Structure 1
Amino acid sequence: MLGFLIFMRKEFLKKLKSYGIESRILLAVSGGKDSMTMLDLFSYFKDELKLDLVVCHFNHSLRDDADRDEKFVKSQCKKYGLKFYSKKEDVLLYSNENKLSTEEGARFLRYKFFDEIKRIENLDYIATAHNKNDLAETVMMRILRGTGINGLIGIQSERGDLIRPILDFSREEIEKYIEKNNIPFVDDKTNFEDMYLRNKIRLNLFPILQNEYNPKISDALSRLSNIAFDFSTISREYILSKEGLLWEFSKDKILVYIEKLKLQSRSFRNIMYRDFFEFISKDPDGINFKIIEEIDNLIFSKTGKYIEIKNVIFKIEYDKLLIFDKNINESVETDFYYENLDFSLYSTRFFDIIIEQSNFDEFTNLKQNKNLLFINKKYLKSLKIRNRKNGDFLEFEFGKKKLKDIFIDEKISKEIRNNIPIFEIDNTIVWVPNTRRSNRYLVDGKDDIIKIKVLSKENLWRD
């Protein structure tokens, strides 16, 4: 018995040191065998490593005995001398209201609570008690649902501030540790009901695989997870090396240059679509091959075509493929209106407008610059700055043209069109920055010339 305990504690300590662990850790404890083993191991090294431990318990309100579990964990924290937090939520109600599965709703609320306590207590890490069998079940579940390489990674031992220090221990090792140390625990009876896919895999599929095919199936799937992690890391490093050459970030969107993308191999494009989808959606299950094909066909389509997958948009915008979260990147429009202008700085959400004194020489040298408007000072009080309106047009020497058509010609993204400042005098548009100018109200005298320039706060003009 002593040898086994030494082994468990030695391996646990090695894992903590591999994290470069800091002193303040939040332990997520449900009261089951896994989390009580983790709690006991952390407590064993608490003084040696000078750990500041806080325990939290999330009550899902999904079982009649959920309150019992909360009281049990609270009592154990008193035994270990650790600070305790708990929170009770109606997971079923939240999941129904937000059109989520019970598992998705529970996970969201649970980790939201963990993050709240971590912030309140100024902690460094959140530790959860996932084990090797949990990892194997997650990998198998994703295989059955259909997943890419990234989905095979399953549960990672460390991700940001989240650590899983007993992930290398099997369920059998944990049960043995519980038994040898006489550690109390509570059972979640739903773990023995095959109403969820994970439970069906644990209770029905794995026993068949272990008894008839591979008694160490959990180890095999754990190794597969590690291999997938290595492949995923290499592919992501290669995709990142293409930033600035093939793709770039702009305002929470990923922009991919279509003509350069077409020169890449089909295999690379498929991997890139999966990686960008998973990055935006935070969904490790990825997207199936049929959808990958639809996205790839999209790059040969005309502007405006798009595909929506789980709130992630893949959209053709002229010569670029845009990838973004629908909920974050819905068009943001800010109304603005300025009149009675003077030498000053005027600012909108996306642009700075600077009005300053100029001279005839500067006008002569820079009058073709689309980013600048030169007018005589006498027109300044009549000048107004506003948003675009329906039906706006510009007048030219030989006719007029709708502003909408000009934006299309200039390939200005729809997301920014209603935010570009429009300059008008006497209800006539005289300038659309970086785009077109009317021939009216230009400089008609050499004195009192002013210069107006519009600076984009980000590179927004064209996607």
Structure 2
Amino acid sequence: MLQKFQNHLLHNFQFLNGKKILLATSGGKDSMVMVHLLQQLDYKIGIAHCNFQLRGMESFEDQNFVQYYAATNNIPVFITQFDTKAFSEDYKISTQVAARELRYNWFYELLETEKFDYILTAHHADDNLETFLINLSRGTGLEGLIGIPEQNEKVIRPLLAFSQEEMEEYARINNIQWREDSSNASDKYLRNKIRHHLVPILKELNPNFLSSFHKTQTYLQEAQVMVEDASIMIYQQVAKQDNEAIYFDLQQLKKLPNYKSYLYQWLKEFEFSAWDDIYDLVESQSGKYVFSSEFRLLKDRDSLILSPINSVNEKEEYSIAENQKEVNIPLNLSFCKVADISIVSNKTIFVDADKLKYPLILRHWSDGDSFQPFGMNGKSKKVSKLFKDEKLSLLEKENTWLLCSNDKIVWIIDVRQDERFRIDNTTKNILKIQLE
């Protein structure tokens, strides 16, 4: 196995040569085999061990075993202890997820503080098969079936090409000592049930099952690359993006023979889970939306709009003093007196300065707001009706601000000026207000 492992590293991970490598080491057979292999090949290594304090004294015996091995073999060792149960309870996650988050966060800290280049873990081919079967049982998409990646940023898994049997044989021949995790014998966890009961049946049906499985995963990985390439090309035809949101053109989307698959590819990274609700949005009425933890997908006429969840505080207000020349929060506005008017636009208005009552107020709109649209000779109009006429999306409405004098709207910023503050033949002082 040593020669095979060396060839594997030279062919697939040649960039590890001369690098400082941190080995995630539990003290179990797999990680101890990995440590031994890299020792034999004279890589510059260090050992990182996490004590999750989940198995009483066993956890501390594992820690002592790893510390003793590192000291005996003159290998730098880094040890940490986690109150994993408390962490899982505080964040309402499983102990497995808690342990994974804790250890990888710590590994990345060690990369920075101890100047390691990469983290190596001892996942092997049987682990990969178990992960595949777990994901298959949960109904994941294609990315859940392509297996554990050999490299994920700074994390390398160099043993994925090797079976459990190969690891056991290497440990036996080289008299490698390890610690046996008693929880591995329990069927409490789904992974253990698959390992103890399902995998042996598959290997009995086909002694070369792992080899066949590896070929299948290779085909799945190639298919995933094709899917991602197609997804990128179609995205460019269907989606437009600005600083606030991504807009999916529904007319273009519905021309696709399987638009649900494309939506899944585009939205999965935003942590949505209610996929049936998302697919239903395509045919829903405007204003319907679906949330993930941090994003919202909104149906608006002929578009789906993806944006961060807007934490708008409708009571949020900002005061503007009489001699203030500019505002930088929440918008960039400038105020200056001019002798004459130039071009008026949604971003630039000219008002009669003597009609303003200070302080001016910047605030969000509310349902009861009304104003007198510029050029409509004193007729009032609901702000909500203007938004409807202008076909503003919910996102645009939420991001619209009003500039007010007392209880009167001076400007629906970037939309329409109010008639009551326009300049006329009696105006003596002109104030130019501009949205930068």
TM-score by structure 1 length? 0.83
Structure 1 residue 30 corresponds to structure 2 residue 26 = yes
Q: Using the alignment, how far apart are the partners of 1:263 and 1:346 within structure 2?
A: 46
Q: Is the CA contact 1:383–1:424 (under 8 Å) kept in the aligned structure 2? A: no
1:218 corresponds to: 210
Q: Using the alignment, how far apart are the partners of 1:257 and 1:149 within structure 2?
A: 25
Structure 1 residue 9 corresponds to structure 2 residue 21 = no
Count of residue correspondences: 429
2:268 corresponds to: 278
CA shift digits 1:57-90 (9 cap, x unpaired): 1222221211111221222222333332222222
| Unmatched runs of 5 consecutive residues or more in structure 2 | none
Structure 1 residues 429 and 252, CA gap change in structure 2 (3 angstroms): closer
CA shift digits 1:4-54 (9 cap, x unpaired): 43223332343321x56672333211111111122223333445xxx4x33
2:400 corresponds to: 420
Structure 1 residues 11 and 418, CA gap change in structure 2 (3 angstroms): closer
Structure 1 position 332, deviation (Å): 4.4
Q: Using the alignment, how far apart are the partners of 1:308 and 1:381 within structure 2?
A: 41
Letter in 2 for 1:279: E
Structure 1 residue 146 corresponds to structure 2 residue 139 = yes
Tell me the secondary structure at the aligned position of residue 25 of structure 1. Answer: strand
Q: Using the alignment, how far apart are the partners of 1:241 and 1:226 within structure 2?
A: 23
Structure 1 residues 130 and 381, CA gap change in structure 2 (3 angstroms): same
Structure 1 residues 20 and 357, CA gap change in structure 2 (3 angstroms): farther
The 5 A counterparts of 1:61-100 are 61-64=53-56, 65-100=58-93
1:200 corresponds to: 193
Tell me the secondary structure at the aligned position of residue 360 of structure 1. Answer: coil
Q: In the alignment, which of 325, 331, 336 is matched to residue 344 of structure 1?
A: 325
Structure 1 residues 194 and 8, CA gap change in structure 2 (3 angstroms): same
1:161 corresponds to: 154
Structure 1 residue 58 corresponds to structure 2 residue 58 = no
Q: Is the CA contact 1:431–1:437 (under 8 Å) kept in the aligned structure 2? A: yes
Letter in 2 for 1:183: I
Q: Using the alignment, how far apart are the partners of 1:103 and 1:322 within structure 2?
A: 35
Q: Using the alignment, how far apart are the partners of 1:154 and 1:373 within structure 2?
A: 59
Q: Is the CA contact 2:20–2:118 (under 8 Å) kept in the aligned structure 1? A: yes
Letter in 1 for 2:252: K
1:300 corresponds to: 283
Letter in 2 for 1:197: L
Letter in 2 for 1:259: Q
Q: Is the CA contact 1:258–1:299 (under 8 Å) kept in the aligned structure 2? A: yes
Structure 1 position 201, deviation (Å): 0.8
Q: Using the alignment, how far apart are the partners of 1:189 and 1:108 within structure 2?
A: 22
Structure 1 position 185, deviation (Å): 1.2
Q: Using the alignment, how far apart are the partners of 1:251 and 1:201 within structure 2?
A: 46
Structure 1 position 401, deviation (Å): 2.8
Q: Using the alignment, how far apart are the partners of 2:18 and 2:246 within structure 1?
A: 34
Q: Using the alignment, how far apart are the partners of 2:241 and 2:111 within structure 1?
A: 30
Letter in 2 for 1:272: Y
Q: Answer with 6-15 or 182-191: which moved more.
A: 6-15
Q: Using the alignment, how far apart are the partners of 1:436 and 1:30 within structure 2?
A: 65
Q: CA RMSD in A?
A: 2.9
Letter in 1 for 2:228: R
Q: In the alignment, which of 165, 173, 187 is matched to residue 180 of structure 1?
A: 173
| Unmatched runs of 5 consecutive residues or more in structure 1 | 456-463
Structure 1 residue 370 corresponds to structure 2 residue 326 = no
Q: Is the CA contact 2:2–2:37 (under 8 Å) kept in the aligned structure 1? A: no
Structure 1 position 297, deviation (Å): 2.7
Q: In the alignment, which of 361, 370, 380 is matched to residue 393 of structure 1?
A: 370
Structure 1 position 134, deviation (Å): 0.6
1:109 corresponds to: 102
Q: Is the CA contact 1:343–1:357 (under 8 Å) kept in the aligned structure 2? A: no
Structure 1 position 221, deviation (Å): 2.5
Q: In the alignment, which of 429, 433, 436 is matched to residue 452 of structure 1?
A: 433
Structure 1 position 428, deviation (Å): 0.8
Structure 1 residue 431 corresponds to structure 2 residue 411 = yes
Q: Using the alignment, how far apart are the partners of 1:22 and 1:273 within structure 2?
A: 43
The 5 A counterparts of 1:348-359 are 348-349=329-330, 351-356=331-336, 358-359=338-339
The 5 A counterparts of 1:108-147 are 108-147=101-140
TM-score by structure 2 length? 0.88
Letter in 2 for 1:168: A
Tell me the secondary structure at the aligned position of residue 387 of structure 1. Answer: strand
1:458 corresponds to: none
Q: Using the alignment, how far apart are the partners of 1:379 and 1:26 within structure 2?
A: 70
Q: Using the alignment, how far apart are the partners of 1:112 and 1:450 within structure 2?
A: 55
Structure 1 residues 361 and 430, CA gap change in structure 2 (3 angstroms): closer
Structure 1 residues 322 and 101, CA gap change in structure 2 (3 angstroms): farther
Q: Using the alignment, how far apart are the partners of 2:104 and 2:261 within structure 1?
A: 29
Structure 1 position 311, deviation (Å): 7.2
Q: Is the CA contact 1:209–1:217 (under 8 Å) kept in the aligned structure 2? A: yes
Tell me the secondary structure at the aligned position of residue 399 of structure 1. Answer: coil
Q: Using the alignment, how far apart are the partners of 1:62 and 1:443 within structure 2?
A: 75
